[in-house]
Amino acid sequence: MKKIILIFMFFSIVCSAQQDAQYTQYMYNTIAINPAYAGSRGALSVFGLYRTQWVGLDGAPKTSTFSINTPLNNSNLGLGVSLVNDKIGPTNENTLSADLSYTIPTSNTYKLSFGIKATANMFNLDINKLNPEDQGDPQFQDLNNKITPNIGAGVYWHSDKGYLGLSIPNFIETNRFNDNDTAIFKDKINYYFMAGYVFNLDDLEYIKFKPALLTKMVEGAPLQVDVSGNFMFNDKFVVGLAYRWSASLSAMAGFQVSDGLYIGYGYDHETTNLRKYNSGSHEIFLRFEFFNNYNRITSPRFF
C-alpha cells in the first residue's frame, strides 16, 4: 500500500504543477479554457490537436483535443462542444464540454463575450500499472469510470486585432483519491488570464507581429506565465517563439493552406532539470473552418 501511495503522491505533484492540460499554442485553442470564445471567429470552426509531453519519460502526459464552435445564425449566441483526452501515467481522463457564449458590441471594433461551460469528466485508473499489493482494494476499484460534473465561466473582450480574456473552466474541486480522509489526488480550480494584439509592421500589411500572454494560477503551485511572439508573412506563413516561465522554451510554426485550413506545430525544450530525462514536447494541430458568403474572411486571423 505504501508503494501505491508514493506513486499517487508523485502524480499528485505533477498534476498540482500542471492541473489542466497545458498547450504551447494556446492562442489557437482558446475554447479549451474560455467558453466565451465560442463563435468569436464568425465561422464554424473545427479544431484537432495532439500533444505528447516530455518524450522519453515513462508515463509522461499525452493530450488529444477535438472541438467544434460556431456562432448561431442572426443572434449574439455562440455554441461549442469539445472533447479532451488526457493520459498521465496510470490515469486516463476524458472530458466532454459544452460552451455557450453571448456577445455584445462595446465599440465599432470591439465586442465583449460572456460564456459558461458545462463539463462531464470520466476518470480511469489502470491499477495494473501500479502493481498494488492488495489487488482487491476497493479504494482503487472505485476510481474506474468515475464521472464527475463541473461548471465554469469566462469573459472575452476582442476585435480582429486584439483580445483580453479571464476564465475559470471549472468551479468545483474534485477529490480523486483519499487516504485516511486526506485528498492525495485532487483536481483544483485553475484561473486564467490571456491577452494578445496584432501589429502591422509594414504599410502593405505583409508582415504582422502578435505578442501574446497566458497566465494560470492554481492553489499550491507557482504562477505559470506563458509569453509568445509570432510573425505572420503574407497571411500564409507563421513562425514564432514562446517561453513558459521557469519551465520551457518553445518554437512554433504554421501554414494557412487555404481560407479554411490551417496547420500548426510547436516544440518545447525543457529548461528545468527534467530536461535530463526527456527529449522535449511536440504539439501539432489542424483547424478547418466553414464560411458562408456573409462571414468569409478577407485575411486569416491570428487567434
The CATH number for 252's domain is 2.40.160.40
133: Cβ contacts below 8 Å, ≥ 6 apart = 1, 3, 4
pLDDT tier, 91 (very low <50, low <70, confident <90, very high otherwise): confident
State residue 274's pLDDT score. Answer: 87
Q: Is residue 209 situated within a structural domain?
A: yes
Q: Is residue 298 situated within a structural domain?
A: no
pLDDT tier, 290 (very low <50, low <70, confident <90, very high otherwise): confident
List pLDDT tens digits, range 241-256. 999 998 899 999 999 9
Q: Is residue 172 situated within a structural domain?
A: yes
Count of domains observed in the chain: 1
Asked whether the predicted pLDDT for residue 15 surpasses 50, the reply is no
> How far apart are alpha carbons 157 and 219 in whole angstroms?
26
State residue 3's pLDDT score. Answer: 41
State residue 204's pLDDT score. Answer: 82
pLDDT tier, 239 (very low <50, low <70, confident <90, very high otherwise): very high
For residue 196, give its domain range: 1-290
> How far apart are alpha carbons 174 and 294 in whole angstroms?
44
Asked whether the predicted pLDDT for residue 296 surpasses 70, the reply is no
Q: Is residue 301 situated within a structural domain?
A: no
For residues 285 and 90, which has the higher predicted lDDT (pLDDT)? Answer: 285
> How far apart are alpha carbons 39 and 28 in whole angstroms?
13
- How confident is the model over 101-109, as a mean pLDDT? 96
**Nearest to residue 236, comparing CAs of 210, 213, 208?**
208
Contact assessment for residue 113 and residue 158, using Cβ atoms and an 8 Å cutoff: yes
Which of 108-122, 127-141, 189-203 comes out lowest in average pLDDT? 127-141
> How far apart are alpha carbons 165 and 155 in whole angstroms?
6
206: Cβ contacts below 8 Å, ≥ 6 apart = 233, 234
The three grid cell numbers given for residue 21, joined into one nine-digit string: 492540460
State residue 62's pLDDT score. Answer: 94
Q: Is residue 283 situated within a structural domain?
A: yes
> How far apart are alpha carbons 242 and 257 in whole angstroms?
23
Q: Is residue 302 situated within a structural domain?
A: no
- The pair phi, psi for residue 198, each rounded to 5°, is -105, 125
State residue 7's pLDDT score. Answer: 44
For residues 294 and 93, which has the higher predicted lDDT (pLDDT)? Answer: 93
- How confident is the model over 96-109, as a mean pLDDT? 96
- How confident is the model over 264-279, as a mean pLDDT? 93
The DSSP call for residue 159 is -
pLDDT tier, 147 (very low <50, low <70, confident <90, very high otherwise): confident
Which of 34-43, 233-242, 284-293 comes out lowest in average pLDDT? 284-293
pLDDT tier, 133 (very low <50, low <70, confident <90, very high otherwise): low
State residue 14's pLDDT score. Answer: 44
Per-chain mean pLDDT for the chain: 85
State residue 97's pLDDT score. Answer: 97
Task: Name beta bridge partners: 111.
Answer: 105, 158
CA distance to 15, 36, 94, 191, 285, per residue, from 282 (Å): 19, 27, 21, 25, 10
Q: Is residue 240 situated within a structural domain?
A: yes
pLDDT tier, 35 (very low <50, low <70, confident <90, very high otherwise): very high
Q: What is the dihedral of CA 8, 17, 251, 85, to 10 degrees?
A: 50
Q: Is residue 50 situated within a structural domain?
A: yes
**Nearest to residue 253, comparing CAs of 24, 59, 66?**
24
In terms of C-beta density within 10 A (0-12 exposed, 13-18 middle, 19 or more buried), how is residue 204 classed? exposed
E strand map for the chain: 44-52, 62-71, 77-88, 91-105, 111-125, 146-158, 162-168, 174-179, 182-187, 190-197, 199-200, 207-218, 224-233, 237-244, 248-256, 261-270, 281-290
Please give the angle made by the CA atoms of 156, 209 and 226, to the nearest 5 degrees: 55
Asked whether the predicted pLDDT for residue 180 surpasses 70, the reply is no
